[in-house]
Structure 1
């Protein structure tokens, strides 16, 4: 038997040598000297950007998931896990695109472009690692994305070290983009490096505000760092939003639209929550009419579509049967028809100018920065979002309550910041929450609630699917693939963070 195997092995080895010789000539003859043998920096930049924007903003049923977890809507098709706080296992798939960063930089054709793509690459890395650590806690960072070197079981860095790395990379992005040149492969800002630099700095403010519980950490020095970054170039208005704009082509339409180019079979299921509608009703905020359709029962009772009282919100914490009963009786609101009927209802931002203004307002209230009063930033955030809605919403979708410049400029004073610092932060987060409807698709609203407690969501122990039902969850669970293939490192990390329990109810370092 052994001789037989050996004989086969010898034959196979000989055949292999012969095939190698043949292949060498074949490759030489059939190689196109005019075809690139490596991907261009422009192509790689486009692929990376598509991955973290267009592909990250899901379509139809998946698009609504961040807004279900953020309690903007209730879902009436069936029990929705996120609506009732059941957290699932995530994956680290968003990190795979980072493999393209190094070749993108390496393949740059000039020294100036290398600086550009390197700065862009640092922003991309910071963005993807931030989104990943925000979901679970400690993650692979220093050894991540090194499979080509043989590093296939990356160690887990502490969340603190991950944040330190993210902040450093954003500093590097600012430095490099300050001396960069415009580039191709960018469908968000058309290669305008000034806008990319402003985004990198604005994003760093978002990272830092999420460290609001860590101001006592001398290594991070959050407050002084915030002051430094706030003095850099930042987003100037909503045209600087980190946003995807949509067209009338299949796969490129607005995520919730139902048009000839893109069908949406889930239109009937969402109903808007009281957390979104009630603050606008209480303050005569016309944005209500841009976001919602009136309650059918209220219209039947004689209310008009331009009447604030025609709009009824539901509590997503109620039992599904209660929500469905109210919906069937017309005692709830659907989303505004423009989101369904327009292929380009509005650009969807992952980070927006108004977000940054609200962050600056909060930082001012907290005493981190001075020179401009919090009300100014707060008002700028509200006006930025209102001007955005006015720009992209045809008057026919405003239920006769269109916002003009006079209304927009006057409105912020009617909801002016008042009272204690905590009350002012509550007001800021409330306005940020309103502006986040069908925006900030990376769970930003849920993260704000987790960090600040605002808006205050109902904890219904009868419907809460978290364990225990007496508390809200604070995180997702780690990927199954990590448990299967990187067990030693993830087990050590779970022991260090959560006494070995991959429990959604336990607070990660960021929240302690």
Structure 2
């Protein structure tokens, strides 16, 4: 899975070992000539990388299979055919390091910054975990090492988890505002002004996922959203993106780079992505994919839209392999595999934030027009792609994205902002879908689950879910919970899904 490959931290001794071994990105924050000792900065590095690093090679594309960007022709892949299994709470163990990170920091403003970082990482991880499974342990989680340890935590409702997440993001924003720059940050260099923007922008991301809960007075979704937009700093450009940047150094190369990657021949780009790009006249087609070799051999130019052929990702696997054998399909663009720098991988971007704001404006949560935010989201998304692609015909196939092209694209009849709410939401989410290609793991699936856009193809003959006419809504709880914490996990299942650990169960956040 492209869900983070988490380092497990149990006690200080294990922390000392992992702080140097978990990631090569740590080397940019550690002096190799200095004695090895645990510091707040070292623990901060590992906490930040834990939520931002992604698996390499095949694992990098697993969520892209689920989100119907990619078909895979090596062997039948469960996510391509909607097979969900059990998740794990193991990714929460690293949160044991939050208190240690704070305790090692000297009193004063820098301690507040580490406290703020701890709240942000907790909020990020608990929100994601709840989005995977529904109700989860939160208020009693990660307390096995306390003076009064809790080994069998109760499950908080998803609403309680999200209220806690929103509160922790508020605390993070306030503490970063009172704090000072800190060590150990491989993304923003410890700049608390950047982290304030991130905490607030991420809270807007959480809130847009609550669009069905605007009537809940406890959540106060629209007013919270409006207050952040009106009174707090948020992302202002692509320079604010929460992203990892890669290089040609060992251990810091792009996850799909060709070196050591034995899977380059297996991805096939989907019809869903390619046809949406073609219908919109979107030149990201030429940056995201490669032309079919068969179409080029037949005389089509690399700049010909018809040279790009997607596959039906829901087609039965025998049909996928037949297309693969024909060689008449589009693979992933070479810019992802030929350059060790690839492009930065983001978890939250300025373009994404603008689409969030566009939807909020369309729903009447904030003043201003959804159209302006929508247009700015498109511009930021296209500029991100163009800015991270060398001017090389292998990578843009003689169809470069320029300022004038972006302006004409936004003004085109296919892209111009619609007049009805449902059509506007559809446009916004499809633009998010295009933005998320090879980015922001699992969010394209969450957006589809939330809105139904874009419509993922479902083939009852190939779908591994039961029933075969739908895509699952969640991952099941970890199997060890039924051995070690049965009473509490069963209570959560009774409360949510009629007692069954059902991948098709509809969690609270999805209900009207």
TM norm. shorter chain > 0.5: yes
Pair 1:378-2:377 in alignment: no
Q: Which residue in 2 is equivalent to 1:391?
A: 387
Q: What secondary structure sits across from 2:178 in the alignment?
A: coil
Structure 2 contact 362–424 (Cα < 8 Å) conserved: yes
Which moved further from structure 2: 138-147 or 481-490?
A: 481-490
Hey, which bits of structure 1, 4+ residues long, moved more than 3 A? 35-38
- Bigger mean CA offset, 42-51 vs 422-431: 42-51
Deviations 1:268-319 (A, max 9, x none): 1110011111121112211111111001222122211101111111121111
**1:489 CA drift (Å):** 1.0
Report the CA distance between 1:126 and its aligned residue: 0.2
CA offsets, 1:225-279, max 9 Å, x none?
11112222111111111111112233321001113xxx10011111001111112
Contact kept, 8 Å, 2:308 with 2:330, in 1: the verdict is yes
Secondary structure of 1:148's match? coil
Distance in 2 between the 1:105 and 1:36 partners? 21
The C-alpha deviation readout for 1:294-348, integer Å capped at 9, x for no partner, is 0122212221110111111112111111122122223310000111111111000
CA distance in 2, matches of 1:192, 1:461: 50
Counterparts of residues 2-17 of structure 1 (less than 5 Å):
none
Q: Identify the residue that residue 326 of structure 1 maps to in structure 2.
A: 323
Cα deviations by residue, 1:193-251 (Å, 9 ceiling, x for unpaired): 11111001000001001111111111111111111122221111111111111122333
CA distance in 1, matches of 2:482, 2:58: 28
Tell me the CA shift for residue 410 of structure 1: 3.0
Q: Which residue pairs with 1:82 in the alignment?
A: 79
* 326-335 vs 265-274, which moves further: 326-335
Q: Distance in 1 between matches of 2:391 and 2:35?
A: 50
Q: What is residue 19 of structure 1 aligned with on the other side?
A: none
Cα distance in 2 for residues equivalent to 1:223 and 1:466: 36
Asked if 1 retains the 8 angstrom alpha-carbon contact of 2:281 and 2:409, the reply is no
Report SS of the residue matched to 1:74. Answer: strand
Structure 1 position 373, deviation (Å): 1.1
The aligned counterpart of 1:53 is: 52
**Is 1:139 aligned to residue 136 of structure 2?**
yes
Match of 1:233 in 2: 233
Give SS of 2:223's match. helix
Deviation at 1:38, TM superposition (A): 7.4
Q: Does 1:305 align with 2:302?
A: yes
Corresponding residue number in structure 2 for 1:43? 42
| Cα deviation, residue 119, structure 1 | 1.1
Secondary structure (helix, strand or coil) at the match of 1:341 reads coil
* In the alignment, structure 1 residue 177 sits paired with structure 2 residue 156: no
Shift in Å at residue 125 of structure 1?
0.6
Tell me the equivalent position of 2:258.
258
Which TM-score applies when normalising by structure 1? 0.90
**What is the CA–CA distance in structure 1 between the aligned matches of 2:506 and 2:160, rounded to whole Å?**
17
Asked if the contact 2:40/2:104 (under 8 Å) is kept, the reply is yes
Show CA shifts across 1:393-433 (max 9, x none): 11211111111222123322221111321011101111110
Compared with structure 1, are the counterparts of its residues 36 and 496 closer, same or farther at alpha carbon in structure 2 (3 Å cutoff)? farther
Question: Mean alpha-carbon deviation: is it higher for 298-307 or for 426-435?
Answer: 298-307
Partner of 1:340: 337
Q: Does 1:272 align with 2:304?
A: no
Residues in 2 aligned to 1:209 and 1:389: alpha-carbon distance in whole angstroms: 25
Please give the secondary structure, in 1, of the residue aligned with 2:311: coil
Hey, what does 1:249 align to over in structure 2? Answer: 249
Count of aligned residue pairs for this structure pair: 471
User: Aligned to 1:356, which of 353, 368, 372?
Assistant: 353
Structure-1 residue corresponding to 2:26: none
Residue aligning to 1:224: 223
Say if 2:247 and 2:341, in contact at 8 Å, map to a contact too. Answer: yes
The residue matched to 1:502 in structure 2 has which SS?
A: coil
Secondary structure of the residue that 2:243 maps to in structure 1? strand
Partner Cα separation in structure 2 for residue 137 and residue 329 of structure 1: 43
Match of 1:28 in 2: none
Q: Residue 41 and residue 479 in structure 1: after superposition, are their counterparts in 2 closer, same or farther (change >3 A)?
A: same
Q: Which structure 2 residue ranges, 5 or more long, are not aligned? A: 1-33
Q: Which residue of the other structure, out of 399, 402, 405, is the alignment partner of 1:401? A: 399
User: For residues 377 and 427 of structure 2, what CA distance do their matches in structure 1 show?
Assistant: 12
Q: Are 2:188 and 1:192 aligned? A: no
Specify the alignment match of 1:116 in structure 2.
113
Q: Which protein shows a greater Rg?
A: 1
3-state SS, counterpart of residue 64 of structure 1: helix
**Secondary structure, counterpart of 2:346 in structure 1:** strand
Aligned-partner SS, 1:363: helix
Aligned mates of 1:76, 1:229 — CA distance in 2: 45
Q: How far apart, in 2, do the equivalents of 1:305 and 1:391 lie?
A: 21
Question: Distance in 2 between the 1:480 and 1:248 partners?
Answer: 40
1:293 is aligned to 2:293: no
